[in-house]
Chains A and B, each alone.
Chain A
Amino acid sequence: MKKSVLGLLFLILLGFAFQACDKIEPPYKEVGGGQATDDTRKVLLEDYTGHTCVNCPAAAKVGHQLVELFSGKVIMIGIHAGYFADPKPAPFNNDYRTEAGNAWDVFFGMSAAGNPIGMVNRKSSQGVYAITNGNWGTEINAVIEAKASITLDIATEYNSSSRSLKATLTSKVLQDITTALKLQVLIVEDSIVSAQRNNDASIGSPTILDYVHRHVLRGSMNGSWGDDLAAAGQALAGATFEKSYTQTLNSSLNEKHVTVVAFVYDATTYEVIQVEEKHIQ
């Protein structure tokens, strides 16, 4: 009796073992892609980071892999905020924090949950906005095929000598949107070279002095929470909205690497429903 019980048990365990295993053979990476068209709903990936955050370079790498994988469909910005973004003794004496970035960091509970952390389209699940970098791909994949309900076009005029920047945003509603909409316009600088702590040997040493910080949020053209674009019930199919902003570019920014990133979001849920990016030169 005992033997048969044991034998049965052994068979059950063995069966369970083989049933419940997926052994993956190389190649481990998948090949994706896609082309952006006029009615593509682009995806905003926000990477909350800091120069003394050791695990952030690995997260930034994942972000760029996703930007490349979905070429033209994913727009990424790096937001330096929270404890690990604080200026420290050299070489970590740079300050890439912004008023808008700090406000979002607190409001959406980003660095409080631990860096690296991010958001995809500012979409929340059960009230939680924070998404760890291991999940960015899955979250982007879930929305990447969605069709746009509104378009967003950015036109920029930039005067190199006065460093005056004008951005004109034009939106056309493709499908009725019932909720109120807001528009956020940001200044982003790419490829800033300065020190970064690091924990990933495939990226570099523990302190990388010439780390390239990509897509760094440098400021907002219309405050931390943007401007009203359309009141509830106003954004009916066919309606168009236009707004423009002017700002003098801070002299510390390299104009060759500056882009304007703009997004339209749902004023109630904060979810980003369209995002666009344009180089100023």
Chain B
Amino acid sequence: MIKKITILAIALLSSSLLSAQDIFDNARITGSFQTDVQFYRPDKAIGIYDTTILGRKVGINGYTNLTYSLGKFKAGLRYEAFMTPLSGFDPRQEGNGFPYIWASYSSDLIEITAGNFYEQFGNGLIFRTYEEWTLGYDNSMNGMRVVLYPAKGLTLKGVYGSQRFFWQKYERNSRGLVRGADAELNLNEAFTSFEGSGLRLSIGGSAVSKYQRDADPIYNLPENVGAFSGRFNLGAGNFSLMTEYAYKINDPSAANNFIYQNGQAVLSSLSYSQKGLGVVLQLKRVDNFSFKSDRTVTANALDINFLPPINRTHAYSLTAKYPYATQPNGEMGLQFQVNYKIPKGTLLGGKYGTGITLNFSQVNDIVRNQVNDTTAIMESGTLGYTSDFFKVSDHIFFRDFNIEIDKRFNSKLKGMVQYMNLLYDIATIEGHAGEEAVKAHLGVADFTYKLSSRNALRLEAQALITEQDEGDWAALMAEYTIAPKWFVAVADQYNYGNPDEDKRNHYYTVSAGYTRESTRLALTFGRQNEGVVCVGGVCRQVPASSGFTITLSTNF
């Protein structure tokens, strides 16, 4: 750590032509800060006892980001402290330090980064590193990155390094190494003949390889695993088509139960847009495509790639209660969405116009056949299975049909109603083997009434009707905003249809917030439901929590 800072300081100071004055006067420092604090208390009704809290009455997650820039030179760092992590975060998050330190130089020809970085090739099918604070996820690289712009329209990228794994430092052979390269050519920029053709075309290709030593006594494992992908983006008029295909050689891992099958993934998206109308169709096939820089890791960590979900991300508490999680071992999905704005001045459009969003997505399993009569499907230490690329299994993991209508009635009142029909295979997605899939109807209504130019009241009602899992839920929320500084809200989620009468609990919250310039303080008091999260074959209980939460954030 100290070494890293020294290197940074030397890099800073030795930037030859800079006087000490430049370093301070012409430079710019930006940053952000956030801390989330939760106080926990026993709450017997929802199963929280002193033994659950184990004396850890307070959880605090916090970070500070700093970026220094001076001309073509930039450097930055992020400090994090999870002491102790909030309930529901991986306990391996516990710790403090600088997990993210970097310095970079960029010109028209070259951009170099040393230290930690985030990067993505194409859609991320074979390489994407990113950070998601609210989930406690960070798979940043620690190494070097070079981006070259050798000719107009051509971008070349090269990366290598190790990935972040909570607070465990990379040591020789402690986990894998990642190296990769990507090339993208924008034909419109590169070739003058493309100008004015009405076509927009770019093509790209990447290769990523990971190295991890094999010292396993049971299996003969590949130490170098390569993955390749090719992609194109084609646009013509109001249409655009994007497709990426990726392939990976044998990569037996804990995530795929140590099978030796190759992996494939394809993602395709066709869209049309004009004023007031947007249509998107997306298709995806994933077959044995978990790609991690440590083959034994099952937690939500050390992913080299990212398989983008093609499902709508819901924003309301009950519609987001059963979210789909990509199944890297195999899935075939489709999403179709239409956004249409009924023009103003028409019968249905009224004075302000009416927005309609229709969305459908479904994800099925792939079809797996036995390799031979004596080998079970997915049996470890074998090829695992064979699969026909175009065949779709009858097994549905997830289906979501939803329609949303939003309308402004007059200058004071606007509203939104939504219906959602959901099928959620809880056995696969949450690892609740043997449990029946959740089939649910959901409804949401959300209305905002402006009392004055500064004061507004928002009311939100939701219902979730299902026979499975925890049964029916209802939720209500009222929020009062005094723009631009204050808000207060009360909310309750009531599990009135839980098959177990003792668990028909209210999960209430009361919250208030204050914002001034870019500083925001929010206080919440209430309860959070328990859940089980399963990622890559490991399940962890996210305990129910009850108590006070404080969030303070600022940008500068």
C-alpha gap A148/B226 in the complex (Å):
41
C-alpha gap A140/B296 in the complex (Å):
14
Pick out which of these stretches binds chain B: A108-116, A153-161, A162-170, A184-192: A108-116
Chain A's nearest CB lies how many Å from the CB of B545?
A: 15
* Residue among B171, B190, B254, B433 making CB contact with A199, cutoff 8 Å: B433
A265: interface (CB < 8 Å): no
Q: Is the CB of B168 within 8 A of A128?
A: yes
* Residue among B150, B218, B222 making CB contact with A30, cutoff 8 Å: B218
A90: interface (CB < 8 Å): no
Question: With contacts A128-B92, A200-B378 known, is A17 near B296, CB below 8 A?
Answer: no
Please name all residues of chain A whose beta carbon is closer than 8 Å to the beta carbon of B174 when the two chains form the complex: 125
C-alpha gap A135/B42 in the complex (Å):
37
B221: interface (CB < 8 Å): yes
Please name all residues of chain A whose beta carbon is closer than 8 Å to the beta carbon of B539 when the two chains form the complex: 53-55, 84, 114-115
C-alpha gap A30/B258 in the complex (Å):
13
B71: interface (CB < 8 Å): no
B7: interface (CB < 8 Å): no
Chain B's nearest CB lies how many Å from the CB of A229?
A: 30
Residues in A126-141 with C-beta less than 8 Å from chain B: 126, 128, 132-135, 137-138, 140-141
Please name all residues of chain B whose beta carbon is closer than 8 Å to the beta carbon of A84 when the two chains form the complex: 539, 541
Q: Is the CB of A206 within 8 A of B434?
A: yes
A2: interface (CB < 8 Å): yes
Q: Is the CB of A138 within 8 A of B376?
A: no
Complex interface bits, A95-112 against B, C-beta within 8 A gives 1, otherwise 0: 000000000001001011
Please name all residues of chain B whose beta carbon is closer than 8 Å to the beta carbon of A9 when the two chains form the complex: 156, 183
C-alpha gap A22/B171 in the complex (Å):
23
Pick out which of these stretches binds chain B: A58-66, A244-252, A255-263, A267-275: A58-66
Pick out which of these stretches binds chain A: B209-217, B315-323, B354-362: B209-217
- Please name the residue on chain A nearest to B211 by beta carbon: A20
Q: Is the CB of A201 within 8 A of B376?
A: yes
C-alpha gap A26/B384 in the complex (Å):
12
Question: With contacts A13-B207, A70-B217, A197-B434 known, is A206 near B222, CB below 8 A?
Answer: no
How many residues in A have their beta carbons less than 8 Å from beta carbons of B?
Answer: 63
C-alpha gap A115/B378 in the complex (Å):
20
B253: interface (CB < 8 Å): yes
* Residue among A5, A20, A54 making CB contact with B433, cutoff 8 Å: A54
Q: Is the CB of A141 within 8 A of B215?
A: yes
Q: Is the CB of B54 within 8 A of A132?
A: no
Chain B's nearest CB lies how many Å from the CB of A222?
A: 24
B485: interface (CB < 8 Å): no
Q: Is the CB of B92 within 8 A of A24?
A: no
Chain A's nearest CB lies how many Å from the CB of B88?
A: 11
How many residues in B have their beta carbons less than 8 Å from beta carbons of A?
Answer: 67
Residues in A172-212 with C-beta less than 8 Å from chain B: 197-202, 206-207
Please name all residues of chain A whose beta carbon is closer than 8 Å to the beta carbon of B156 when the two chains form the complex: 9
Question: With contacts A199-B431, A199-B433 known, is A135 near B296, CB below 8 A?
Answer: yes
A236: interface (CB < 8 Å): no
C-alpha gap A201/B151 in the complex (Å):
53
Q: Is the CB of B379 within 8 A of A202?
A: yes
Chain B's nearest CB lies how many Å from the CB of A58?
A: 7
B348: interface (CB < 8 Å): no
Q: Is the CB of B217 within 8 A of A134?
A: no
Chain B's nearest CB lies how many Å from the CB of A49?
A: 12
Q: Is the CB of B427 within 8 A of A30?
A: no
B453: interface (CB < 8 Å): no
Chain B's nearest CB lies how many Å from the CB of A57?
A: 10
Q: Is the CB of B222 within 8 A of A17?
A: no
- Please name the residue on chain B nearest to A23 by beta carbon: B249
Chain B's nearest CB lies how many Å from the CB of A121?
A: 15
Q: Is the CB of B252 within 8 A of A28?
A: yes
B225: interface (CB < 8 Å): yes
Residues in B166-185 with C-beta less than 8 Å from chain A: 167-169, 171, 174, 179, 181, 183, 185
Chain B's nearest CB lies how many Å from the CB of A13?
A: 5
B299: interface (CB < 8 Å): yes
Q: Is the CB of B209 within 8 A of A20?
A: yes
Please name all residues of chain A whose beta carbon is closer than 8 Å to the beta carbon of B241 when the two chains form the complex: none
Q: Is the CB of A13 within 8 A of B92?
A: no
- Specify which of A65, A66, A140, A199 lies most central, judged by the most chain B CB atoms within 10 Å of its CB: A199
Q: Is the CB of B260 within 8 A of A28?
A: yes
Chain A's nearest CB lies how many Å from the CB of B488?
A: 35
Q: Is the CB of A28 within 8 A of B220?
A: yes
Chain A's nearest CB lies how many Å from the CB of B455?
A: 46
Q: Is the CB of A20 within 8 A of B216?
A: no
- Specify which of B150, B381, B431, B433 lies most central, judged by the most chain A CB atoms within 10 Å of its CB: B433
Q: Is the CB of A114 within 8 A of B378?
A: no
* Residue among A5, A30, A113, A140 making CB contact with B90, cutoff 8 Å: A113
Q: Is the CB of B431 within 8 A of A54?
A: yes
Please name all residues of chain A whose beta carbon is closer than 8 Å to the beta carbon of B295 when the two chains form the complex: 134
C-alpha gap A201/B538 in the complex (Å):
17
Please name all residues of chain A whose beta carbon is closer than 8 Å to the beta carbon of B296 when the two chains form the complex: 132-135, 138
B224: interface (CB < 8 Å): yes
- Please name the residue on chain B nearest to A116 by beta carbon: B538
B228: interface (CB < 8 Å): yes
Chain B's nearest CB lies how many Å from the CB of A130?
A: 8
- Please name the residue on chain A nearest to B260 by beta carbon: A28
B205: interface (CB < 8 Å): yes
Chain B's nearest CB lies how many Å from the CB of A196?
A: 10
Q: Is the CB of A109 within 8 A of B91?
A: yes
C-alpha gap A50/B500 in the complex (Å):
23
9 nearest A-B pairs in the assembled complex, by CB-CB distance: A134-B296, A20-B209, A134-B254, A202-B376, A22-B222, A206-B433, A114-B538, A206-B434, A135-B296
| 17 A–B contacts from the bound complex (CB under 8 Å) | A29-B219, A30-B217, A32-B218, A54-B539, A55-B298, A55-B431, A58-B537, A65-B218, A84-B539, A111-B541, A126-B168, A134-B253, A137-B218, A141-B215, A142-B215, A197-B434, A199-B433
Instruction: Give chain A's interface residues, CB within 8 Å of chain B.
Output: 1-2, 5-6, 9, 12-13, 16-17, 19-24, 26-30, 32, 53-55, 58, 62, 65-66, 69-70, 82-84, 106, 109, 111-117, 125-126, 128, 132-135, 137-138, 140-142, 144, 197-202, 206-207
* Given A132-B299, A133-B254, A206-B427, 8 additional A-B pairs, CB 8 A: A2-B190, A16-B181, A23-B250, A84-B541, A112-B540, A133-B296, A134-B258, A199-B431
